[in-house]
Structure 1
């Protein structure tokens, strides 16, 4: 009786045989994988290797160590017993198909709720149900579909950022082959006669053919794979002309030596691949350098409150050390893993997991970075330092990513959309011409055109320009989420500002009290309540009040845009707007006020005298030349006359706006064609920041880390906002100038290629040089731009 093997994994079908399209599968998991690949035109996965989903025998017990809890704890970045998150380094990630497969792991196993690939770092971040699925099963599933992760227990962080050595191996092989083929070609170059012609000519030619095989089928395979995937998806990517050029050279050279027409172009072929890979290696090294600079050396304007000897001091998050005691206010993000020491913790981990249900924690429980406290104040003890890259990863989490790019065409896509089609057309027309005029030059012309006109320079201009500018902005205390934000920032035509805490400074504002004198207990309760809020007025009033004994509240609730309620023992307090606390006096108040009532008895109000940020008038006067300006404030019109004196006459001043009113105002203007930049705080203006085309949160000693904003600006740099916007516009000009240089280069190169004066190997040398020149040009220009900003 013959055994039936699984088409996907190759295992023997023992318990059951599942049939589909005349293929046998051992389980529904293997059948599902096959269906997924087939439905998405990825069935070629099975052409590369028989039963590619098989788990190699050496893997069967290889990951048993992942059953040990102490090792699991070291690898996981989040674990609340029901949901676990792990980031694994996958060396085999190499193309868009890999991304698709790895980001659809939830279809292979429903216990995996999300998976997100970072293609540049070759990592996948996986969220799964820990009650029914384990880390070991995650790793075995990845191995089964051909993506075995690299795990180093000695230095896991090094494992995640381990450089893929495949490119170095390919570069070495291509260089070795190129050198030997050039050496074997010398007799042909110098037209040596005698023993060469009679005895060794054929041997040398076939040796050159042998050296070219690993170059074409190994070193150059990425170009063929990328071109093939693109064509299957009906896309002409930039690797199509390169792959065609390599293929034409190889076939033409092979035909020549088989029929003894000549020695072929193996020197050009191996040189072409070598110089292409050399350019690619340089690009990767440079881009990884820029990414490193941005991730770890830029200023990250997020602060947290540290408690030391009873004093509260704001510190930058990357200054947190193990053992520090941290104060986390309502709606504030927990920046680091820690142990809950004090307070009522109701933590929203949706920022991390996508699950919006809050998790209750007791004193002594572990809390994880990325959670948001939603029930007043808590104190935690940090058990590790902050990983800035982890915060950046949270910020870019797709769970909270509103598609602001919908309908937005990048400058690269707009310019290079038809580039490949044009190049292929020129190559075909030129080849047909030379076939009729001089057939011996036709293949050289075809190959040279494809290589010299490669749009690598166009593809590199935007990433390197924006990458360098992101790093420069970071050092200047303007932290931008990604390159797309910079590109959209350059296209805005309307700027909307919040008032309190945005154009006003919390640190310089003063307040006076008008009402019934508060008792010591009431003042203590007031200060303890204010301590739990990040609202600019709360922070200002908290700092103004005299030192009081801080108490742990029994209840705290913040009503965004209205105020706060809190209780301690039998005392209750309301702090906020007049209507919210029950104040019914009809007298018009022309200043920003915060009202207070305790135990349902109105007590009085604090009236604030705002101090506007330095350089406010100059900033608005600079911006009014190009943009429509507006201020949306939740306060009353008390500051209207002062603002009219400070700001340009055309600035729209709108007061008494709720958070929802601000959002609807932005929606209306976007419907009219406006590209809106919103500048506000990361808490109360979250809806408006998310709705706008670009949302900038201002940071002033508070933790404004929010998924709603696209950029974070340090308050001390507020008066330079116009310079940052101007720099983003200049970056677009730099990219366009790069395209002009690339066009000039391609035009000159195409002339020599079409006229048959350019050998393919020379084209292969010039192509990476053009790419390098674009990288150098954009880097120098953005560096000069950065010096002007400073």
Structure 2
């Protein structure tokens, strides 16, 4: 019977199921339909990335009718505001770059799809779509139609799908069973037992060993054969090619030995080789899953939210302490950390964190407000409807919309080494085989196989991700939270550190505030407190805590002008609270000081003067940074009233720049970069968003307010501010660890290949050493990362 493979999915095509279309052959109408869909939508290059990348589409037949029910849809959706909805679906068939490409181009198949982000390790696709153009059911049916049927289980939807492929466990089990029995049956050969009974049954045992080894070669080792074949077809020369070739050579050689009665073969070595390689693969998966777990559940944000107690008392609590039913106070520019119901009359929510589009959505009392929205305008009250999901907040923070383009140097090095490693390895092994073939053909096969097995670029490939991943966890334990692993590398390159002043190098705690001007009535003080209640600016928070009145009144009008101050109306009385510029005061006549000025119905009343308290360890931090060669800059939106005090406190080389608007801060950071600076911007996330986005590394300092920007690359707990130099130093040590581990991995490969060329290593020993090398590299980077952390963090 004539057999071919389906152009779409690679399944067998016979004379009974063959469907011909466009000079190509398909196994069923489903695969043919998918091909037609891709061709009609100019997505034919899907098949150029990898041959037969698709899966046979399944018939739905009413399977997803339950997705027409709104209560079920609401359980599945992560976000639903206006016409924009977001859903994350587990898609088991995701297995290669072609899958990622077609899913991230899903908008070309249906214009209702806005964006698709694929998480390849977790086989998850996060889909943002317009629900006025496509329903969730239609979206799932489209995915099913093109061979990417999602797995939806309402019962277990909150549970993370199993990350370990169960088939890998089955393959390991079969390999373990086979090599155990093969070794047991090979004992007479090992000890050269030569009695009559053994001579009579020797051939039977050898053929039985061959039979037992077949499942290992064709099933347990199949991932290596398939990966090698795909690598050859796509010219992506991965380590799976020499691994597969080594197994094939041992199998063929052993089969020939048994058929022609030349010897017992190497089936014991082959089966144990496959067993140990699969164990190494399982170990890698387990380790990656452990790192993923650490990232999801221990890298919670050190931000706080204001909880309103039953007695009306406001208290800041950590976001992960929020539980269902808690009443929360959300100020201007503050993030809503959990799905909630709006209690206040109205609110304007900015969902740019979620969708990337900064168009505030108006909400009314009783409406649902989704986690990730940012309040714009007056203070509001909400009631939490569930607990905080730290992994969801991390996902929002890591939204690709806000990612910076960085130079992935170590990823490039790893890719380069891996690309050239396999061709060089094959060349060396062939030359060694030819050289030994003239001396001893058996030795030549042993040398050829051992070289292919012992060489392991896995160790090279794992150094950077494991080192940087471990560094992120160590930073997190020390309350410095990084967006992703690339931030560690970027921090190691920093040579210029720019600090905001108010709320960054100064602290809200222990501030001394005095008032100069016309006396304010208790009613006016209460109005001022209620207006600044909605603001997250550090001076607003200090003044709010300073004023003693407690009566809560909602302003008729509220506006916060970035870099200037607040405008509010209460009982038809207009208040201007902020800088001299907001009030129209001639700044040349003003005494240089940190102050907040008050104007009521056009009449200037006076000012609150703040005696700034700088953070503990500020002088030591700046001295250490200067000593280490960093260029330091204070970039402030305030006047230069603190200039003289800062000049006495900080090193002479520190540059002090005052009266900077938010856009001027951004321009100044850009200027530093043009001068060759690799800039870390440290701010409070309020008036620094542009500068944080422009900088190479943006750090948002979090004290007791739930404010940070998606432009920031890291969040630093204010209590750890004095250890910033230690964090920078540790980033350099992490890069040093990567370089040392590269040297270690390359040394292992050079020594292992050299010993194999000299015929001093058997294929079995090579198979055992391969996972050991991976374990040793992971252990090395873990030990070194923890050693440098213990030695450097908090010690300067």
Alignment-derived partner of residue 763 in structure 1: 766
2:387 pairs with 1:385: yes
Shift of 1:593: 2.3
Give the alignment partner of residue 39 of structure 1, picking from 36, 41, 45.
45
Give the alignment partner of residue 540 of structure 1, picking from 539, 542, 550.
542
Alignment-derived partner of residue 294 in structure 1: 295
Post-superposition Cα deviations, 1:187-208, rounded to whole Å, max 9, x if no partner, equal 4434455778876555544544
The 3 A distance-change label for structure 1 pair 573 and 435 is farther
The 3 A distance-change label for structure 1 pair 586 and 756 is same
Post-superposition Cα deviations, 1:208-259, rounded to whole Å, max 9, x if no partner, equal 4444443344333333444444444443333333233233333444444455
Give the alignment partner of residue 465 of structure 1, picking from 452, 464, 467.
467
Shift of 1:262: 4.0
Alignment-derived partner of residue 103 in structure 2: 102
Alignment-derived partner of residue 602 in structure 1: 604
Alignment-derived partner of residue 148 in structure 2: 147
Alignment-derived partner of residue 431 in structure 1: 433
The 3 A distance-change label for structure 1 pair 300 and 256 is same
Alignment-derived partner of residue 346 in structure 1: 348
The 3 A distance-change label for structure 1 pair 263 and 496 is same
Shift of 1:772: 1.0
5 Å-filtered alignment, 1:585-664, equals 586-626=588-628, 627-664=630-667
Counterpart Cα distance in 2 of 1:681 and 1:786: 26
| Number of residue pairs matched by the alignment | 774
The 3 A distance-change label for structure 1 pair 780 and 331 is same
- Where 1:482 maps in the other structure, the secondary structure is coil
Counterpart Cα distance in 1 of 2:581 and 2:57: 67
Shift of 1:325: 0.6
TM-score of the aligned structures, taking structure 1 as reference length: 0.91
Give the alignment partner of residue 549 of structure 1, picking from 544, 548, 551.
551
The 3 A distance-change label for structure 1 pair 382 and 276 is same
The 3 A distance-change label for structure 1 pair 19 and 768 is closer
Shift of 1:39: 0.8
5 Å-filtered alignment, 1:125-204, equals 125-160=126-161, 163-193=164-194, 203-204=204-205
Counterpart Cα distance in 2 of 1:96 and 1:449: 30
Post-superposition Cα deviations, 1:336-370, rounded to whole Å, max 9, x if no partner, equal 00000015311122211233332111000001001
The 3 A distance-change label for structure 1 pair 40 and 201 is farther
The 3 A distance-change label for structure 1 pair 223 and 322 is same
In structure 1, stretches of 5+ residues that fail to align are: 1-5, 11-16
- Where 1:427 maps in the other structure, the secondary structure is helix
Alignment-derived partner of residue 528 in structure 1: 530
Counterpart Cα distance in 1 of 2:765 and 2:408: 42
Contact 1:558 1:564 in 2 (8 A): yes
Give the alignment partner of residue 717 of structure 1, picking from 717, 720, 738.
720
- Where 2:362 maps in the other structure, the secondary structure is strand
Alignment-derived partner of residue 3 in structure 1: none
Give the alignment partner of residue 316 of structure 2, picking from 295, 314, 317.
314
Counterpart Cα distance in 2 of 1:445 and 1:36: 49
Shift of 1:580: 2.1
Alignment-derived partner of residue 336 in structure 1: 338
Counterpart Cα distance in 2 of 1:169 and 1:8: 28
Counterpart Cα distance in 2 of 1:195 and 1:111: 78
The 3 A distance-change label for structure 1 pair 421 and 589 is farther
Alignment-derived partner of residue 360 in structure 1: 362
Alignment-derived partner of residue 508 in structure 1: 510
The 3 A distance-change label for structure 1 pair 617 and 181 is same
2:742 pairs with 1:739: yes
2:90 pairs with 1:84: no
The 3 A distance-change label for structure 1 pair 663 and 245 is farther
Shift of 1:616: 0.5
Counterpart Cα distance in 2 of 1:134 and 1:731: 47
Contact 1:37 1:43 in 2 (8 A): no
In structure 2, stretches of 5+ residues that fail to align are: 1-5, 12-18
TM-score of the aligned structures, taking structure 2 as reference length: 0.90
- Where 2:122 maps in the other structure, the secondary structure is coil
2:706 pairs with 1:703: yes
Shift of 1:494: 1.3
Contact 1:29 1:109 in 2 (8 A): no
5 Å-filtered alignment, 1:10-25, equals 20=22
The 3 A distance-change label for structure 1 pair 259 and 739 is same
